Amino acid sequence: MTTENYNPLLVAQKQIAHAAEKLQLDLRILEMLKEPERCLEVSIPVKMDDGMVQVFKGWRCQHNTAIGPAKGGLRYHPDVTQEEVKALAMWMTFKCNVVGLPYGGGKGGIRVDPRKLSVGELERMTRAYINLIAPVIGPTKDIPAPDVYTTPQIMGWIMDEFSKINGCNVPGIVTGKPIIVGGSLGRDKATARGCTIVIREAAKKLGIPLQGAAVAVQGYGNAGSFLATLLTEMGCKIVAVSDSKGGIYHSDGLNAQAVIDHKAHTGSVVGFPGAKVITNQELLDCDVDILVPAAFENQIDADVAAQVKAKIVAEAANGPTTPEGDAVLYDKGVLVIPDILASAGGVTVSYFEWVQNLANFYWSLEEVNNRLEHIMVNSFAAVYAMHQDKGVSMRDAAYMVAINRIAEAIKIRGWI
């Protein structure tokens, strides 16, 4: 594989261009969608616990705001790059619009290993970052949220710092907050719940009974572990899971909750009693009905895709399949539920949180879950209908649904 295949920005741009070609999209709109409206880079000086100052690089990117304010997560990771943040912002634009939310895409990142920082250092870095990007964010401009290695506590610090800057409480500045400061019930498990809903809908279309269906989950963090739990409740058999340290397999099925408890105690799924140790590569090759990549980008390239045996690939992670891998899966007849649809449950309930903040009126968990169910079912139906009507992949169909909405807003606003 070439280096280009692993540049997430180029991957995102290829996906946009591919769908735009099938839509015969106005080339002026395509040019607007291929680049973000704004990408702010900041240098964040932080006083460390030993008295020294360390400077971290950070970004906040806003892709397209034709339909509404930017919306997207903030990740803390040592490998974050500007290209990655731009690509993630683009994917967020289409993720929001494939499920019909009044948002454009945004994304933020700081190049840091948060596991090497004390709680105090992490808080000081977060607050310094918010001070630097404060002019370009806000409830009607750009609303951050949790992502890789960021937590509800970090969102609480963001809400507090932005509120201090503005001299009043501004809960709508960020989503994924603790409940006590304006968070929404159901937000912590929304990505997994949304993905589970579209897996269920896809299984119906393909005539795959979920009772006894074999599932492999790559990435056993918050989304992956809860998704495994929900699928177990639906009757699925979780035969393989993995994290950054490796994977485990058991043909008779794994107890999802017991694996969660084991990882909480040991730091990894590896070593779970009675399970065979496997690599992440071996997990992707497992003979299963449903494969859920819930880790990082570019996990399934053409070579890996050629070995995939699953009938459904549900992308709970952002960008886990390269364009070349996607083409191989499509040719094999694998139904790929693309990331912008499969992982849209999180941003959907983030939208609910934002709405509740603006209204200062909060919903029950039942209401949150019912609204999420309605949006995910209808969104899957719209994408699947496009997939069938136009004879295109589910990924192209999802982009086509989203791009149609954005293009209409661009035209109505007179941007072209």
pLDDT tens figures, 128-164: 999 999 999 999 999 999 988 999 999 999 999 999 9
Count of structural domains within the chain: 2
**CA gap 86, 75 in Å, rounded:** 13
Is 116 considered catalytic here?
A: no
pLDDT at 103: 98
In a domain, 69, yes or no: yes
Q: For residue 308, what is the domain's CATH number?
A: 3.40.50.720
Same domain membership, residue 238 and residue 195: yes
User: φ, ψ for residue 351 (rounded to 5)?
Assistant: -60, -45
Residue 56's domain comprises 36-172
Whether pLDDT at 235 is above 50: yes
**CA gap 181, 239 in Å, rounded:** 39
In a domain, 95, yes or no: yes
Same domain membership, residue 220 and residue 111: no
In a domain, 105, yes or no: yes
Which among 318, 342, 366 is the end of a domain? 342
In angstroms and rounded to an integer, the radius of gyration of the C-alpha atoms of the chain is 20
Same domain membership, residue 307 and residue 206: yes
- The pLDDT tens digits for 104-125 are 999 999 999 999 999 999 999 9
Same domain membership, residue 42 and residue 138: yes
| Closest CA relative to residue 326, chosen from 341, 338, 317, 318 | 338
Which among 342, 365, 395 is the end of a domain? 342
Same domain membership, residue 209 and residue 153: no
**How far apart, in Å, are the Cα atoms of 66 and each of 167, 256, 409?**
29, 41, 6
Q: For residue 71, what is the domain's CATH number?
A: 3.40.50.10860
Range of lowest pLDDT (8-12, 78-82, 157-161): 8-12
Same domain membership, residue 215 and residue 257: yes
Which among 297, 325, 342 is the end of a domain? 342
**CA gap 172, 355 in Å, rounded:** 8
In the numeric block, the tokens 């970090």 are attached to 154
Same domain membership, residue 266 and residue 332: yes
- 38-47/104-111 β-pairing: unpaired
Q: Residue 119: CB partners within 8 Å, gap ≥ 6?
A: none
- 237-243/246-249 β-pairing: antiparallel
Is residue 179 within 8 A of residue 190, CB to CB? The reply is no
Residue of 14, 86, 95, 107 with catalytic role: 107
Query: What is the reported pTM?
Result: 0.93
Q: Where are the beta strands (DSSP E) in 48-103?
A: 53-62, 70-77
pLDDT at 6: 66
How far is CA 85 from its chain centroid?
Answer: 12
- The pLDDT tens digits for 274-324 are 999 999 889 999 999 999 999 877 899 999 999 999 999 999 988 899 889
